[in-house]
Structure 1
């Protein structure tokens, strides 16, 4: 349904634009003929004092341009989110990761299908294989539509458009949930294979770990996920096991982004304001109110490229360069973490501690920056007509993931390590249990940053002094880059063994695998969307409210 409707929209919008472009060419040719006519009259001395108006054209027998009648089916908006190159780059990145993840899943299914040792009837779901093939094609079409027509306003078939986009919103939400469920089942299947089978790709799970999981996860039975007749190639399964944790969040984030974009289009269906004052009266021989007039003043709005990029970087240079330094440090920590993970088993714990200390440092810096930025941002004027409902919804959707992960992580850490009774609290926080204070600092940082974003999206600069001084703009630029850096770090940081994570020890492999697969994509999406909101504030909060 969604695939067919997107195809229809793409072809119909192109048809509409082609007709409008043909009318523009006809109109230009008609104007050239009129200019040539008056030039000859002046050249041969004929009275050329007549005004060049449609009435004068009719009086001398010049017919209007024979434009092609066309209904006013579509408009193209230039709103705050409709043409953002930042959002398009994010969509392309999410789609790329989603497509790579889809290719891996297809490879896994095909490998199962061609493996002679696997019972195809019991181990392979052909409907799932077909869905895995169609899904990346549908995702690629969605990406094309977003890049090309994310600013579309649909006026034709509005009832069907409401139904079609709401259907695609619901489908994307279902894909979001199904991705989490499938990845959780895949992770638990790999765990079941290592626990009940003799898998060669489960070297990280020791006998002691299995015993701990047996004791802690008694209420969860994963034995039914193990089937000795459905054991595929160890090489392929190892690739899936190592890469899927990095890639599946892209699929979730891509579907969240699609839902947000479709919601914007859905809310703008039928809301095109075609000002009759900006329309020529000689637009067609078949002049009717139902026909789309060829615009003059609004012509640029209809056909301006959706990929125009420009930026005013005044009062942003310090934040930009400090943010770039932070990105370099993060990339260095990522590389060191992977080096520790590949050198020797003895360095795994050091890499895990380094990972937590890096996150603690980042969240502390971002917390300080958010507090200072908030004190600067409140100096700006309040925008009486903000457009931030969608941003608010996307931010608040992610907050429960932070609350859940913070509370559950602290419960596990306190219960297992008895932190409350530790005497040397300061040394313990910094050296041995950075994850405990990390949970607290991250939660506080997210709450303050969300408050800053919700407030900043409702600010503007109506006075010249505010537009000149731009209070807080340096920090907004820094927070843009810092949130992108945190998204990169959360996405590509080394996934440490389960035995180093107290949450796996306390809740068990099964339960924390389920909870982790739910919370991680939302935490990562929050960082990306926060950077989008800060970029929006960086641009619009320092303009007059009338320009929003």
Structure 2
């Protein structure tokens, strides 16, 4: 353009306009102007091109050309801050977007309100002497009944749609038979976007935890049958609540992992959003209720033991709130004596007391898994895409269509995994023996310190071997390349969130052990401090390894043959099962942590463990699921088409 200006100035005044016309003609040839919505208003306000050169306000000829070129983009180059706004939407479309945003926000607020109520009711019932049993059990009945009504609506809609599809398919088959006569009919295959949320390993774990939760609810119902027929002894909600909970667990399990419901949820988006959020709140409220109940039972059991009650009450951490502790201790003991008077037998009550520390974590695990799956469903309903692609352990597993048989065939390639398998089996056997020894020796007063010491050494050994395995695996898996379009998925984010439970538990344990190093009456605080440090290091390295290996894939035949780090992945898989059993036992028995119990007191330490240990146990389970996915998917090499 500068070259054009120089030539234009060098020509006589009578010929200068021709060069401007040539410049504009060149622009029009290269970029022909077409009327669009964006430049109609700008073009309407501009003077004719023939009069531009006579207007003194338009400057040089080069600026004229640039203005004409810039007018196609709907803005002036001399004032680039002036943009034309986006096109206006129709009123109906705008109202639709507003209603969708409103329902999404209201469903989230509704879920949050239910969660806050689910946290407040059991705490108020535990701390207050005047709150009746029906104060919060009616709230849980509301949660279960509304969730089951939503599930009934989903199933009825699916059955109706299935009946319609059957009639249409039958009519189509009849018409096809009449049209072709005796000729062989071509078999048509209906391909629906069916799928199941969750991998095979996740579904099996959810089924196992669901069975444990139903057993726990069955024992609660049996505990009601032991109550005597006296005034104030029998509360019908004690029988109705566990019964409805068992029905809710099995129906929800069917809904999450078996049924094909995505198309129906998309059709009834408003109902689905509120229904799914209600089910999420129900599962989280069940988790909070179990945490509050187990914390209260643990405190009651310690106060029932006169030796523990004296030791804990004399501790400095408890004397700070001595009046509050004494009042609630009296209320708890009065409630316990009233329950014992109402019992006719102690069979189911004893079973419930013995099994509760082991079965209640199953309820927590089942509730956590269900909440995550339901959140993935809710997020899918809130999107406008028809086919949302999910990957990972909590993803929507869409089975491939088959032409003949409908059964699924599973193939497992165990190459380069046997060494890690046998090594991890030895570690698992060593852990089981240590836990059995602990359960036997801890019951005797003279051997209790030895039992605690040997199980701490076992846990320290597990964390040390897990740390070394993670370091070697991170080094070897660098040979594999990253998959394209990788991003943080729900699996990795959930793993990082669950790891906070381990951080909370190990940090409080390390602080208590460090501050009691000079206390000679404490039992091996150095071992506890070292174990907590190794636990933090091992969980951190394992999380980094899983997040890194999640998106690596075999891309060459050499990688597919060597399968780098697969032996270590196999070892970490079963080692996490061993760590899960240890953490599961720690959440069930307070004898595991005598140093922390003496330092923080029964109330504080019970709250810390009941909040952190379920997340820690879930971290071990979810790590096992993620390692299974890595073991299965990372070392599969997809054949590339030959050009």
Task: Please report the TM-score for the alignment, with normalisation by the length of structure 2.
Answer: 0.65
SS in 2 for 1:417: coil
The equivalent position to 1:265 in structure 2, one of 377, 380, 404, is 377
Distance 1:318-1:500 versus aligned 2 partners, 3 A rule: closer
1:198 aligned partner: none
1:292 aligned partner: none
SS in 1 for 2:416: coil
1:45 aligned partner: none
**Which residues in structure 2 correspond to 1:182-197 (within 5 Å)?**
182-192=293-303, 194=304
1:293 aligned partner: none
Shift of 1:102: 1.8
Determine if the alignment matches structure 1 residue 209 to structure 2 residue 311.
yes
Superposed CA deviations along residues 249-271 of structure 1, whole A, max 9, x for unmatched, are 11111110001111222233374
**Which residues in structure 2 correspond to 1:241-390 (within 5 Å)?**
241-269=353-381, 271-273=385-387, 299-300=401-402, 309-342=410-443, 344-386=444-486, 388-390=488-490
2:628 aligned partner: 535
Do the aligned partners of 1:491 and 1:524 also contact (CA within 8 Å) in 2? yes
Shift of 1:503: 0.8
Shift of 1:129: 4.8
Shift of 1:183: 1.8
Do the aligned partners of 2:513 and 2:596 also contact (CA within 8 Å) in 1? yes
Do the aligned partners of 1:499 and 1:505 also contact (CA within 8 Å) in 2? no
Report the Cα distance in structure 2 between the residues aligned to 1:515 and 1:87, rounded to whole angstroms.
27
**Which residues in structure 2 correspond to 1:57-456 (within 5 Å)?**
75-77=193-195, 82=197, 84-111=199-226, 113-114=227-228, 116=230, 119-120=232-233, 126-127=236-237, 129-149=239-259, 152-153=262-263, 154-192=265-303, 194=304, 202=305, 205-206=307-308, 208-213=310-315, 216-219=318-321, 220-221=324-325, 222-223=328-329, 224-227=331-334, 230-232=338-340, 233=343, 237-269=349-381, 271-273=385-387, 299-300=401-402, 309-342=410-443, 344-386=444-486, 388-418=488-518, 433-456=526-549
Report the Cα distance in structure 1 between the residues aligned to 2:302 and 2:586, rounded to whole angstroms.
21
Report the Cα distance in structure 2 between the residues aligned to 1:38 and 1:363, rounded to whole angstroms.
69
Shift of 1:525: 0.4
Distance 1:109-1:412 versus aligned 2 partners, 3 A rule: farther
Do the aligned partners of 2:525 and 2:595 also contact (CA within 8 Å) in 1? no
1:291 aligned partner: none
Determine if the alignment matches structure 1 residue 5 to structure 2 residue 150.
yes
2:47 aligned partner: none
Shift of 1:28: 5.4
Report the Cα distance in structure 1 between the residues aligned to 2:277 and 2:267, rounded to whole angstroms.
16
The equivalent position to 2:604 in structure 1, one of 511, 530, 537, is 511
Report the Cα distance in structure 2 between the residues aligned to 1:89 and 1:330, rounded to whole angstroms.
23
Shift of 1:492: 4.4
1:42 aligned partner: none
Deviates more, 1:2-11 or 1:126-135: 126-135
Shift of 1:4: 1.3
Report the Cα distance in structure 2 between the residues aligned to 1:496 and 1:255, rounded to whole angstroms.
22
Deviates more, 1:435-444 or 1:317-326: 317-326
What root-mean-square deviation, in Å, do the aligned CA atoms of Structure 1 and Structure 2 show? 3.7
Do the aligned partners of 1:77 and 1:301 also contact (CA within 8 Å) in 2? no
**Which residues in structure 2 correspond to 1:488-503 (within 5 Å)?**
488-492=581-585, 498=591, 501-503=594-596
Distance 1:394-1:497 versus aligned 2 partners, 3 A rule: closer
Report the Cα distance in structure 2 between the residues aligned to 1:302 and 1:167, rounded to whole angstroms.
40
SS in 2 for 1:76: coil
Shift of 1:22: 5.6
Report the Cα distance in structure 1 between the residues aligned to 2:183 and 2:339, rounded to whole angstroms.
84
Do the aligned partners of 1:217 and 1:508 also contact (CA within 8 Å) in 2? no
Report the Cα distance in structure 2 between the residues aligned to 1:350 and 1:478, rounded to whole angstroms.
29
Superposed CA deviations along residues 477-526 of structure 1, whole A, max 9, x for unmatched, are 22121112221233247955649611110111111111111111111000
Rg larger for: 2
Distance 1:388-1:513 versus aligned 2 partners, 3 A rule: same
Q: Which runs of 4+ in 1 moved over 6 A?
A: none
SS in 2 for 1:227: helix
Pick 1 or 2: higher relative contact order, CA cutoff 8 A, min separation 6: 1
Determine if the alignment matches structure 1 residue 483 to structure 2 residue 576.
yes
Distance 1:21-1:85 versus aligned 2 partners, 3 A rule: farther
Superposed CA deviations along residues 23-42 of structure 1, whole A, max 9, x for unmatched, are 55665566566665348xxx
Report the Cα distance in structure 1 between the residues aligned to 2:239 and 2:527, rounded to whole angstroms.
43
User: Structure 2: which 5+ runs fail to align?
Assistant: 1-145, 389-398
Distance 1:242-1:434 versus aligned 2 partners, 3 A rule: farther
Shift of 1:443: 0.6
Distance 1:20-1:461 versus aligned 2 partners, 3 A rule: farther
Do the aligned partners of 2:312 and 2:598 also contact (CA within 8 Å) in 1? no
SS in 1 for 2:193: strand
Report the Cα distance in structure 2 between the residues aligned to 1:185 and 1:150, rounded to whole angstroms.
41
Distance 1:109-1:301 versus aligned 2 partners, 3 A rule: farther
Report the Cα distance in structure 1 between the residues aligned to 2:488 and 2:418, rounded to whole angstroms.
27
Distance 1:107-1:30 versus aligned 2 partners, 3 A rule: same
User: Structure 1: which 5+ runs fail to align?
Assistant: 40-51, 54-63, 195-201, 275-296, 423-427
Superposed CA deviations along residues 28-70 of structure 1, whole A, max 9, x for unmatched, are 566566665348xxxxxxxxxxxx99xxxxxxxxxx99x9xx9
Report the Cα distance in structure 2 between the residues aligned to 1:334 and 1:150, rounded to whole angstroms.
42
Superposed CA deviations along residues 139-164 of structure 1, whole A, max 9, x for unmatched, are 11112223312784543213322222
Q: Aligned pair count?
A: 472
